[in-house]
Structure 1
Amino acid sequence: MTDPQPSRDSNRLPSEDSDRLPPVRFAYDRHTWKEIAHLLANFPVSLFGFIYVVTVLFTGAFLTLTVIGLPLLAAGLVGARQLGKLERARARALLGVRVDEPSPLPLRSTRNGVFAQLWMALKDPVGWRTVLYDFIRLPWGILTFTVTLTSLFVLWPVLPFIARGLANADRAMVRGLLSPSDELERRIAELESDRGVVVDTAAADLRRIERDLHDGAQARLVNLAMGLGLAKEKLLEGQTDDTVAMMVEEAHGEVKLALQELRDLARGIHPAVLTDRGLDAALSSVASRCTVPVKVTADLDSRPAAAIEGIAYFTVSELLQNISKHSGARSASVDVWRTEKRLLIQVWDDGRGGANLDGGTGMRGLAERLDAVDGLFVVDSPPGGPTTVTAELPWRDRSEDVRRT
């Protein structure tokens, strides 16, 4: 048996091929080129931002002794917000950084005048962090531009590593200074926005109560006083005929009407049945006054806080009034239940549909009132019906109110 023929390369020394490493290849993929483009753009962008913030701060500070200084500074901070928005967009496009947009300034929801809007802009933390970002970026922009441009011609093999390191520092700056600081800041901005809605709603309720008192019970009580005064004069004159008896009878009727109007007004402020017996009984009571048969189902193992209970009651009350006046429905239903930390309400009717938040102030007012307490309000009302309105409120136990008091 003969030995097999040796391989054609069997006499090659092992060190000639087996120890030879493959050539080093650096990945110049699209991500690397985006990072390089970002670093090269740092200098012109940071130069513009630096000039902007220095001009705004210097001019605003210099002119604070005049009437235009603070408004100019506030306008500059609003403009800084826009620079931050552009920087976040640039970071998303070139660095792949996903940063949430901060909550917008609720200037349009501020109803306390120009000075309140001015103060809100001046204390805006997002605007001030953007100013800090643009102020410290100029030396960094010069450094990254110089290093990247030099590396393109001198340090080409290691440029991807350099670009990645510098771009990571940019990512950290964007996340640290241009992102919302935390959820608390977002909630504060939302609550600032909703506070104007709450104040306006309360003011509208007070005006309604004043109007109802003036046009209703107050007018009846004035007529009652006048009628009783005339009857008293006739009695003092010695007249005891049927005229006096008729005047007293009319006054008695005015008293009963005034009492009924006062009860209705009190029910509109906060019904006694809601305080005494809870949401289930109160909704059944308001449903009994609806012109459409209403089925009420409440699945609650406990009572929510009084404020939440009141909002739920008045929401259902206004929705049932809309059904009575506008829906043309033959039947309706109200369902109330609790899911974890939320109170859910669903009002349904088989009417003509077509309801929406833009159709009038009633629906829009309900949506704003629920939004002000971190609730939701959804209307599903296609033309021809049926209509389903879903409201969601945060659940807070009544015992929490007791502990707070």
Structure 2
Amino acid sequence: MATEYGQDYGLPSEPGFGRPARARRSRLPAGLGAPFEGRSWREFGYVLLSLPISILVFTYAVTMVSLGAGLLVTFLGIPVLAAALAGCRGFGVLERMRARSLLGLQVAEPEPLRAPRRGASAWMGAVFKSGTSWRALLYAVLHLPWAVFSFTVAVTVWAWGWSMLTYPLWFWVFPAYVGQDGLQLYGDETHQVYLDNPFEITVTALVGLLFVLAAPWIVRGLTTVDRVLVHGLLGPSRLATRVVELESDRGVVVDTAAADLRRIERDLHDGAQARLVNLAMDLGLAKEKLQEDPQAAARMVGEAHGEVKTALQELRDLARGIHPAVLTDRGLDAALSSVASRCTVPVRVEVDLVERPAPAIEGIAYFTVSELLQNVSKHARATWAAAEVWRVENRLLLQVVDDGVGGAEASAGSGLAGLAERLDAVDGILVVDSPAGGPTRVTAELPWRGRR
């Protein structure tokens, strides 16, 4: 559900979800503490493991695909290629787990295989038709050269950094066991340079410190590419993700339409229909008394006339709830002004639109503002409210502000949650900013579609 709570919100896995998280203070600055953080060592471990794993996966993928391609002239080629793709999918599962545990990368599972029927041939057809299988094969091929590069860079930087930083602790090995004054920096037949005096040893350690401090950030940059590869090739495709979103939105639209139909049926049954039944009974009694008691019959007809007026008003309110005529005829400005006039607090309405949006978007915008103003009347305990509508490029923005007690939340089961689901069904967004004590500011975004 595309709903945001206020201005500061954290990830569900972090403390303070839905409210500003308390900052964690570190005893060391970020640059100095990075070499000792668990995250840095986990990323370094990820790079170290990438090389042997990528060699294994690359060897499997290339061998199986080559074998399957060579056996295509026989009936064995198709099963071998299917097994190659299925194996790459399995390696993809392991890689997602490794990225999740060492890099903290949360990648959703891709779409599963969907075989139309049971059997080996149907399964192989599903493997070949799945884009996930081919992306996993592409990952197996592309990851090896990158793993070799990142392994070489990471190990070189870490090894040089720590060895140079700790050089003052082990430089004595050279004069004691190697027969030279220190680590040889340069040498030819006539001239040799050794790192042996205190100044050179200190400079070496300082250079090593720079390497140690830079190594975590270099490794982090290398793992950024791994994150992109895992997310882009081993996660769900954008098309599949969009299909899932559309399926969910379709369910929301169907449920919303069914709920609206039930509401209309209930309003008709409990309101206008009940009154019309009573009206028919009263008119029947008045007809029977017309000859024997004309005055009572006239009184009953008068009462029936009042019932007719009430039933007509209820039908008008019901029709306005389905789709108000003023919205169709005069647009959002007039329709929202009509809604504001029925609110229990003074409402300032401002609609800044050069042209009218498509009827469907206009209707959703109307009912969104209408429901928000109803919430102001029922729950806000406000003294004033404002409703604004404007357009920014290809988005239609709505905002309702009140000076009430605040504390509004789009929690599960609330009216704001249902409103957010309706907006989400058309790629809209609902943002609720309602601190305790107020004021409350609810902003909605809808895609702009003009009238044809």
- TM-score w.r.t. the length of structure 1 is 0.62
Query: In structure 2, do the counterparts of structure 1 residues 195 and 81 end up closer, same or farther at CA, with 3 Å as the change threshold?
Result: farther
Give the SS at the match of 1:296: strand
CA distance in 2, matches of 1:316, 1:263: 20
| More deviation, 310-319/172-181 | 172-181
- Residue pair 1:81, 1:127 contacting (<8 A) in 2 also: no
Asked if 1:41 corresponds to 2:41, the answer is no
Q: Is the alpha carbon distance of 1:100 and 1:338 closer, same or farther for their aligned partners in structure 2, counting shifts above 3 Å?
A: farther
Letter paired with 2:431: V
Task: Give the superposition deviation at 1:39.
Answer: 3.8
1:226 aligns with 2:234: no
Map of 1:196 onto structure 2? 251
CA distance in 2, matches of 1:33, 1:351: 54
Q: Secondary structure at the match of 1:398?
A: coil
State the partner residue of 1:55.
none
Whole-Å Cα distance in 2 between the matches of residues 289 and 199 of structure 1? 30
Residues 384 and 309 of structure 1: CA distance in aligned 2, closer, same or farther (over 3 Å): same
The yes-or-no answer on 1:385 pairing with 2:393 is no
SS of 1:351 mapped into structure 2: coil
Evaluate the alpha carbon distance shift between residue 242 and residue 93 of structure 1 in structure 2; reply closer, same or farther with a 3 A threshold: closer
CA–CA separation in structure 2 for the residues paired with 1:368 and 1:319: 14
Gaps of 5+ in 1: 1-29, 50-76, 107-122, 149-169, 400-405
* 125-134 or 37-46, larger mean C-alpha shift: 125-134
The whole-number CA distance in structure 1 between the counterparts of 2:127 and 2:336 is 44
Query: Per-residue deviation at 1:300?
Result: 0.4
- Superposed displacement of residue 388, structure 1: 0.4
Q: Look up the match of 1:341.
A: 394
Deviations 1:124-173 (A, max 9, x none): 999944456779999x8xxx8xxx9xxxxxxxxxxxxxxxxxxxxx9999
Instruction: Give, in whole Å, the separation in 2 of the partners of 1:172 and 1:384.
Output: 44
Measured after TM superposition, the shift of residue 191 of structure 1 is 1.1
| Residue identity (%) | 65
Aligned pair in 2 of structure 1 residues 219, 34: CA closer, same or farther (>3 Å)?
A: closer
**Using a 3 Å threshold, how does the CA distance of structure 1 residues 361 and 283 change in structure 2: closer, same or farther?**
same
Matches of 2:381 and 2:109, distance apart in 1: 42
Q: What's 1:289 paired with?
A: 342
Report the alpha carbon displacement of residue 87 of structure 1 after superposing the two structures with TM. Answer: 1.6
CA distance in 2, matches of 1:369, 1:385: 25
Query: Which secondary structure state, in structure 1, belongs to the residue aligned with residue 410 of structure 2?
Result: coil
Match of 1:57 in 2: none
What's the CA shift string for 1:335-382, capped at 9, x where partnerless? 110000000011000011110111752111111101111011011111
CA distance in 1 between counterparts of 2:55 and 2:441 reads 56
> Which deviations, in whole Å up to 9, do the C-alpha atoms of 1:29-58 show, x marking residues without a partner?
x99996663242358889999xxxxxxxxx
Aligned-pair RMSD on alpha carbons? 4.3
Q: Deviations over 1:297-322 (max 9, x none)?
A: 11000000001000111111111111
Residue 360 of structure 2 corresponds to residue 307 of structure 1 = yes
In the alignment, is residue 252 of structure 1 matched against residue 260 of structure 2?
Answer: no
Read off the aligned partner of 1:178 and give its amino acid letter: L
Structure 1: distance between partners of 2:227 and 2:440: 49
- Structure 1 counterpart of 2:241, from 186, 207, 210: 186
Task: Note closer, same or farther for the CA distance 1:356–1:299 as it changes in structure 2 (3 Å cut).
Answer: same
2:382 and 2:328 map into 1 onto residues whose CA distance is 30
Structure of higher RCO (CA pairs closer than 8 Å, 6+ residues apart): 2
How many residue pairs match? The answer is: 295
Q: Which runs of 5+ in 2 are unaligned?
A: 1-41, 62-85, 113-124, 149-225
Structure 2 residue aligned with 1:87: 95
State which of 412, 415, 420 in structure 2 corresponds to 1:367: 420
Query: C-alpha distance in 2, partners of 1:46/1:339?
Result: 49
Q: TM-score, normalised by structure 2?
A: 0.56
**Residues 410 and 416, structure 2, Cα contact 8 Å, conserved in 1:** yes
Shift in Å, 1:84? 3.8
Task: Determine the C-alpha separation between the residues in 2 that align with 1:253 and 1:234.
Answer: 19
Q: 1:48 to 1:380 in 2, by over 3 A?
A: farther
- SS at 1:291's partner residue? coil
